[in-house]
Structure 1
Amino acid sequence: MKIFRSLGVTLIAGALLTGCTNYVGAADSKLISVKDLTQEKLLTVQDRTLPAVKLTTKDSLQAEMNTLRSRLVISQGLSSHKQVAFTFDDGPDTHFTNQVLDILKKEKVSATFFVCGNNVEAHPDVVKRIDQEGHSVGNHSWNHPDLSKKDQATVNQQISKTNDAIQDAIGKKPTLFRPPYGARKGGIVDGEAQKLNMKVILWSVDTLDWNHKSKDQIMEAYHREFKPGGIVLQHSAGNEGLKETVKALPEMIRDLKSKGYEFVTVDKLIGVPAYQ
C-alpha cells in the first residue's frame, strides 16, 4: 500500500481509529479508499476538523485560578491545591503578634496579617517586622467597627486611612481587605473595596479563638472545617484568651506539614499581587 507523507499523523490516526487499513480519513470524516486518493483529496482530508482536544490538567488549573482571581469576594483557594493560608486579625500589638511571628519564623511558615490602622500607627515597628519576615499585610479597617452599619463615606475613610498607615509603615499599599466580623451587608463595603482596587477576603475556617476558646477547641474547629485551599482565621491581638492560639498554632502547623501542605500568603493563594 502506498503511503502519502503529506497526510502525516492525520491519516495514520484515522486508519487506526477506524480499524481500517484500506481507507483513510479523519476520525469523524467520510472515509476515502486508498486507491482513489488524489492530491486534491489529500488536501481535503488534511483540512477536516478533528475532534476538540481536551484541556490538560495544567490548563484546567489555570482556568480555575483565573476564575478565582476575577472574584471580588474570596473565602477559599482552589480545593485542588494542597495549600493553606493562615491569617491573623486585629493586630499588631507587642505581645501576641510577636509570639505568633516567633512561631512562624521558627517553622518557616508564611502568613497574612490583617491589621487595624490605629494599631499600625501605635506599633509601626511590628508591622515592619511582619513585612520583613516575608508575610503579607492586609487591611482590617481603622478601629474595627461593624462597617455594614456605616455610611459610604465612613467605610471609605476606614479603609483608606488604614491603607495610608500601612503605606507609611512599610512603603506599600495593600490589595487585600478583610471587613471586621466579615460584615458587608448592603453592598457598600464591597463597593468601596472595589473602588480602592482591593479584594475582600473572608475565610473558610473560623477557629473562634477570640472567644476564649481552649487549644483543644481551636484544634477541633480546625479539623472540622479545614479542606485544601483553606483560609484559616485566627487573631494576633485582643484578649488574654489568645494565649491558646499561641499554643494551638505549632500543633496546627505540624499537622499540615505531615500532610504535605504548602503554607502561602493569601495573595499567593488566589494569584493576585499583595500590594498596589
Structure 2
Amino acid sequence: MKIAITGATGQLGNLVIDALLARGANAADLVAIGRSEQKLEPLAGKGLETRVADYNAQPTLVSALEGIDKLLLISASEVGQRVAQHENVINAAKHVDVSLIAYTSIANALSGGMKLAEEHIATERLLAGSGIDYVLLRNGWYIENYTDQLMGYLNSGTVLGAAGDGKISAAARADYADAAAAVLLSEENQNGRIYELGSDKPFTLAQLAGAVGAAAGQDIAYQEMDPEQLEKIYADAGVPGPFAHILVDTDVRIREGALEVNSGELAKLIGRTPASLGKVIKDNLNK
C-alpha cells in the first residue's frame, strides 16, 4: 500500500512522515510530494520515494499520484488560492483512482464561523462530491501559532488579542501529525469519518500570557484589544491586509468558542495525552 503526503517538505508534512516511520510504516511505501526537488532530498535520504508536483499544475499532480492508495492532502498555505489548488489535487487523485484522501481541515469548520474556515469548507464539499473515499482531520489551532511569537511577547511584556475569555484547544503540530499518521495507517474503514482534533486542556489568551511568563521567569500580561485597533497593529507590522483581517476575525470567533474542542479524539488517536502548553513553550524557549 502506497501512502502519499502532499506538502511533504513543510512543517506538518515532515512531522507526519516522522510519525508514520515511528509507527512502523515502511519508508519504501511512503511517497513525499513537494514543489522543490532540493527540499525533498532529505526525505529521499530517509528512504522515501519523492515526487515533484505543484498544487497549481494538475498534470504534475496526476503523475505524482500514480499508484497511490492513500493520500494525505495537507491544506495549501496560500490563503485565497486554496480551493482551486485543492481541487487540482482532488481531480488528479480521481484520475488515477486514489482510494482514500485524508484532508487537514480546521476545527469546527462548519459551526465556528471563521473566515479562515471558508476555504476548508469549500474543500470538504469538493471531497464529498468527488466520489473518492475521504476522511477529515479537522485540526485545531497549533500552539506554534503562539510560540512562534515568543520573542515578541518577551520583548513587549504583553500578548495582544481580541479573543476575550474564549478558550483555545490548541495542540502541538507534532501531535496533529501523529494523529494523521494513525489515521493513514489504520486498518479500519475511515470513509466519511470526521475527527475534531484539539488538546484536552484549552486555554485563554490570558492563560497563554501566564504560561509564557512562568516559563520565562518574567511578567507577561494579556492585553485585550478592540478588533479594528488590533487589525491596524498587524497591518502596521507588515502583515498583509487580508491576512490581518483573518487573524483578527479568528480572535473574535474564539470568543464564541470556534476553536474549543471537547471530543477527546486527538488523545484517542495518538494514544497519549497531547503535549501541554507549558511543555511546548519550554521546548521552544530552550531551542
TM-score, shorter chain, exceeding 0.5:
no
Normalising by the residue count of structure 1, what TM-score does the alignment of the two structures yield?
0.30
- Structure number with greater Rg is 1
